[in-house]
Amino acid sequence: MPTLEQNRQLWSESFDWSHQGDRWSAKWGGVDMQWHGTLLPRIHAFLPTGAILEIAAGYGRWSQYLKDLCDHLILIDMQEHCIDACRQRFADETHIEFYVNDGRSLDMVADNSVDFVFSFDSLVHADSSVIEAYLEQLASKLTPDGVGFFHHSNLGAYPHYFSLTTRLPMPIRDRIYRYGLADKDHWRDPGMTAEKFCQIAARYGLQCIGQELVNWSARRQIDCFTTFCKEGSIWSRPNVVVRNPQFMDEVQRWGELAQLYSDTSWARMAKT
């Protein structure tokens, strides 16, 4: 399972960060397509807002959009070089605060100050103890009607399947992956599930109000997008759980339409 230490090692300066994370949006046809096609439609109800906290911001792939949708943005990452990169990238912005943390602590955030907390494409590799540490603190950091949107692992919903495939000898595994005969675990945490997220949230007076289970580069729904709030907030409602085994079709469609609509498609045209 990806421990905090393994995350610290993987995302260190020796990782190729030259693309600032943009390469991870390639299937969408670019970061702007992923933001406008996949992310913004899922969180637009909560934006713009007062203060946004982004956990595990990396080199600011999502911060570049979030910064224009709030009065105040707090960026946190456990890697100093990531926060340094964000500081440079957003040097002209006076409403952004930058912090390096230990992978768990939100001590630098004032109580009752966060209107929207966001984390995407990072905490899928976090185990339940990290998720719990963040949720416990968010219970006091969020404003009464504050909302969270977390992308996390649901790999734990398939314990038998993944324990079986990871036990296969490497050459056989390589072959079945090459022919698309089995799902990779994409380094998701094997202990986290959508259900577990809500159980942890409930321990701290938070509640899940929406969960989308998505087949991230797989057939099985190994990831989950969870929207949560404080119990009794204006956003409170029974959790709505949607299984979306067609998520990758959405990704592919944006990838196809990118030649028409992406920022780079217009930039290419401007040059001709």
Ligand X SMILES: C[S@@+](CC[C@H](N)C(=O)[O-])C[C@H]1O[C@@H](n2cnc3c(N)ncnc32)[C@H](O)[C@@H]1O
Binding site for ligand X (CB under 6 A): 7, 11, 21, 55-58, 61-62, 77-79, 82, 101, 103, 120-122, 126, 130
| Beta-carbon count within 10 A of 50 CB | 13
Q: Least distance to ligand X from the beta carbon of 127, Å?
A: 9
Closest CA to 90 of 107, 112, 73, 110: 73
Q: Least distance to ligand X from the beta carbon of 74, Å?
A: 12
* The length of the chain, given as a count of residues: 272
Vertex 182: Cα angle to 181 and 186 (nearest 5) = 140
Cβ distance to ligand X smaller for residue 122 or 233: 122
Cβ distance to ligand X smaller for residue 60 or 146: 60
What's the distance, CA 167 to chain centroid?
Answer: 28
Q: How far is CA 172 from CA 161, 162, 167, in A?
A: 15, 15, 10
Helices 263-271 and 247-261: angle between axes, nearest 10 degrees = 20
Cβ distance to ligand X smaller for residue 137 or 239: 137
Cβ distance to ligand X smaller for residue 154 or 233: 154
Closest CA to 228 of 127, 129, 151: 151
Q: For ligand X, which residue has the nearest CB?
A: 58
Q: Least distance to ligand X from the beta carbon of 149, Å?
A: 12
Cβ distance to ligand X smaller for residue 149 or 233: 149
Backbone dihedral angles phi then psi of residue 72, each to the nearest 5 degrees: -150, 130
Cβ distance to ligand X smaller for residue 62 or 158: 62
Q: Least distance to ligand X from the beta carbon of 87, Å?
A: 14
Q: Least distance to ligand X from the beta carbon of 58, Å?
A: 2
Q: Least distance to ligand X from the beta carbon of 75, Å?
A: 10
Contacts of 109 (CB under 8 A, 6+ apart): 53, 74, 76, 137, 141
Q: Least distance to ligand X from the beta carbon of 105, Å?
A: 9
Cβ distance to ligand X smaller for residue 78 or 209: 78
Contacts of 47 (CB under 8 A, 6+ apart): 40, 69, 70, 116
Contacts of 172 (CB under 8 A, 6+ apart): none
Helix (H, G, I), strand (E, B) or coil at 172: helix
